[in-house]
């Protein structure tokens, strides 16, 4: 276990270029692995999770060459090989769920495994739609390890029962290789990186009457692409900017996908001044520079409510928003966030217990949290729960504590953001 000591900081100043977006890196790796030709993916995520996706592609027959500034993936032209060993998804639920849809149409037997955390996360949510398409998936008490006996798939009409971009992606990836046209609808729209990535690799998707349609039998072609900077990684520093009246932060070449950029609106509502500069589109994804300064006068006096569709859009950013909530003027109320309980940890419980350890008032609910604003916190020993987002979120909370904060299990940050602590020390002088 690695321990990081976070000391109270005076301000937050500087600029960063963030590692590649984790969600986009996963999708590019998988589609490049299936495609014909060699894809060059610059600024690929440095996190461990997307590299689990790359390793699985290699095990399925793709050729992976990691260069200093890009990754080259030579795909299998639509035909995965029988892997010699189980496909190890590490800590990555994204890898396991999306990969299941990608490989289900191939006439081999696959076993998907992961670490202790991943084997506790629910997988029935992907088994049901893939089984409806004709796939044979065997779970272990609803979890990994998963055995998939691949074969011919047929199209289905599917309505996602819970907001999940991973489930949507599994169905779209399977539908790409099925007989007929698969139709999918969402009651709450989730991030649409998969739709953009599929189109970038040459697939045709259409939206009609609120449903996504993808025809089977389509072939993918290799691409050259630069992965935008990760907005979920940016979230930690955007929230840190709220903590210091004279903060000034510039984040270059960050992904600004509209299905995720609600984060910027929330940070602004909590007391930040945000400017977007140099916005462009690359392979369907918006990319731009974010400048953020604190704007305490703009913060609401009442708690800011995050619920419904907004909760789904912010699901990855909720831990850090909650961790800085005590320092905001009005605090935060989080509702409809049951999904946080089945992530890498029970994030609702860990956020509550760690905030309480720092002396905060917080009420834990089954589906969220109530955190009053205007609080003063002291340093404490933080249990990361081996969860990267908890480790990083409470490192940000520690910047405004009145004494040192000890992050136990800080190595978990490498799952998504290995450079996190280096960047934090650069931006926040003691």
Active-site residue set: 316
Locate 244 and state its tokens: 């210091």
CA–CA dist 430, 425 (Å, integer): 8
Token code pair at residue 234: 């940016």
Q: Alpha helix locations (H) across 104-230? A: 124-132, 165-175, 193-200
- 8 A C-beta contact, residue 369 and residue 348: yes
Integer Cα distance of 260 and 189 in angstroms = 11
CA-only gyration radius of the chain, Å: 21
Burial of 214-230, coded b for 16+ CB within 10 Å and e otherwise, reads bbbebebebbebbbbbb
CA 349 to chain centre: 20
Number of C-beta neighbours around residue 302 at 10 A: 10
Structure tokens given for 185: 């609808």
21: left (phi over 0), alpha (psi -120 to 50) or beta: beta
**Cα–Cα distance for residue pair 84/191, rounded to 1 Å:** 34
């Amino acid at each position: 276990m690695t321990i990081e000591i976070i000391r109270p900081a005076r301000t937050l100043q500087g600029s960063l270029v963030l590692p590649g977006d984790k969600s986009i890196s996963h999708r590019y790796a998988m589609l490049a692995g299936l495609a014909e030709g060699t894809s060059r993916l610059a600024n690929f995520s440095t996190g461990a999770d997307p590299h689990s996706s790359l390793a699985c592609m290699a095990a399925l027959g793709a050729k992976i060459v990691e260069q200093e500034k890009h990754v080259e993936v030579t795909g299998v032209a639509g035909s995965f090989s029988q892997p010699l060993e189980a496909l190890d998804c590490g800590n990555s639920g994204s890898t396991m769920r999306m990969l299941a849809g990608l490989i289900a149409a191939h006439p081999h037997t696959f076993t998907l495994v992961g670490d202790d955390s991943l084997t506790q996360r629910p997988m029935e949510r992907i088994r049901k739609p893939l089984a409806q398409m004709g796939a044979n998936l065997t779970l272990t008490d609803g979890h990994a390890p998963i055995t998939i006996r691949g074969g011919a798939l047929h199209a289905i009409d599917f309505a996602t029962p819970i907001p999940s971009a991973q489930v949507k992606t599994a169905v779209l990836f399977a539908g790409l290789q099925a007989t007929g046209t698969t139709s999918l609808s969402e009651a709450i729209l989730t991030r649409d990186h998969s739709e953009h990535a599929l189109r970038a690799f040459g697939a045709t998707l259409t939206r009609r009457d609120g449903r996504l349609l993808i025809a089977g039998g389509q072939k993918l072609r290799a691409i050259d692409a630069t992965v935008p900077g990760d907005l979920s990684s940016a979230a930690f520093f955007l929230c840190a900017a709220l903590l210091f009246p004279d903060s000034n932060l510039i984040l270059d070449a960050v992904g600004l996908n509209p299905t995720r950029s609600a984060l910027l609106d929330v940070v602004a509502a909590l007391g930040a001044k945000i400017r977007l500069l140099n916005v462009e589109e690359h392979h369907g994804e918006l990319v731009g520079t974010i400048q953020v300064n604190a704007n305490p006068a703009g913060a609401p006096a009442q708690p800011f409510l995050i619920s419904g569709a907004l909760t789904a859009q912010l699901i990855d950013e909720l831990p850090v928003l909650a961790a800085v909530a005590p320092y905001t003027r009005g605090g935060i109320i989080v509702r409809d966030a049951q999904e946080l309980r089945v992530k890498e940890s029970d994030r609702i419980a860990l956020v509550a217990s760690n905030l309480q350890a720092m002396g905060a008032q917080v009420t834990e609910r089954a589906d969220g949290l109530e955190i009053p604003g205007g609080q003063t916190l002291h340093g404490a020993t933080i249990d990361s729960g081996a969860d990267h987002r908890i480790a990083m979120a409470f490192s940000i909370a520690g910047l405004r504590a009145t004494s040192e904060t000890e992050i136990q299990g800080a190595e978990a940050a490498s799952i998504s953001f290995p450079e996190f602590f280096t960047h934090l020390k650069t931006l926040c002088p003691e």
